[in-house]
A = this chain, B = another copy of it.
Amino acid sequence: MARSLGELAAQFGCELIGDPAIAVSRVATLVSAGVGDLSFFANTAYRNQLRETRAAAVVLRPQDAKDCSVSALLAADPYHVYALIAAELHPAASINAGIHSSAVIHPTASVSACAEVSANVTVEENAIVADAVYIGPGVVVGARCSVGEHSRVLANATLVQDVTIGDRCVIHPGAVIGSDGFGNARTEEGWVKVPQLGGVRIGNDVEVGANTTIDRGALDDTILEDGVRLDNQIQIGHNVKVGMHTAMAACAAVSGSTTIGRRCMFGGQVGIAGHVTICDDVSIAGATMISKDIDEPGYYMGSFPGEKGSSWKRKVARFRRLDDLINRVAVLEKKVEENSE
């Protein structure tokens, strides 16, 4: 859908440098953009690309306009404005309301006439699919699950049971929500399974990444508040609570009964122990392991950057002999004390 730069400037509150009649119909990178393409500039490492772009227009900060030889839409946060314009030019696929003939819907389930249910879907007893929902092929909507308006549950995802999903959510392919938590009582004869009886409650505007898993609560529910963003292959244990607008990068794992605050940001492969509380506004670097409560906002780390193997092995050997070094320093302290007497 083509839009003129003048229209976009007015709609998104940007100052326009250039001809308001120029039309753009899609977004592209600075390097690949051409006639009719809109691009953006936010990462200063790419300033040379800005200087040479052949885009029709670029969204950028006012102070960067001097390096731009094409039309520009000025914005304090160009990535944000770019995201909004990209969604305008490339709207999500619209719904083809109806239930595919190969889908299997339990008679007690309630599926809106305005929802799209794709091929090979299974909807189980007492499940609810609201208006304007998209259910992708191969999805299973288990017993007593509910999917809110305008949400999208994509191919081969599974809502196991007792999962409530709010409005405008996206559940990516292969995600599993509502699986049993890992509850086992140890006995002399082995493990006894502790029945997992809770559900999962997910707020509005949440995204759950591909092949991510979210366990149902043992008794009470596992909770994701509004606006949470989970990348792919994340694991959320039973009875975890994730606060509003918290985002986690791929492969992060949160153990059971842990509470995560609002607006937190976790890097990839972060691991959080169980029964821990993380306060609001905590950022954690990739590959960091957190084993205790964090009650002060800020940036946390615990991972070592890799380096040449020979150099790393030498460091690890030194680390393993720290005790020896400490003893040598203690001996020195004693000798120096004696010498100076």
A: residues with CB less than 8 A from B are 26-29, 32, 45, 77, 79-80, 82-84, 86-87, 90, 92, 100, 102, 104, 118-122, 124, 136-138, 140, 142, 154-156, 158, 160, 170, 172-174, 176, 179-180, 182-187, 190-195, 197, 205, 207, 209-211, 213, 215, 219-220, 226-227, 229, 231-233, 235, 237, 244-245, 247, 249-251, 253, 255, 268-269, 271, 273, 275, 284-292, 296, 298-310, 312-316, 318-320, 322-323, 325-326, 328-329, 332-333, 335-336, 338-340
Contact = CB atoms under 8 A, between A and B. Distances in A.
A223 B313 CA distance: 33
Contacts of A160: 154-155, 173
Contacts of A314: 323
B301 A182 contact: no
Contacts of A186: 80
B185 A179 contact: no
Most buried by B among A205, A304, A306, A326: A306
Contact of A195 (B87, B229, B249, B299): B87
Nearest to A318: B322
B232 A179 contact: yes
A285 to B, nearest CB: 7
Contacts of A155: 122, 140, 142, 158, 160
Given A210-B176, A219-B27, A232 B235 contact: yes
A136 B104 CA distance: 13
Nearest to A101: B104
B305 A174 contact: no
A297 to B, nearest CB: 11
A309 B319 contact: no
Contacts of A320: 315
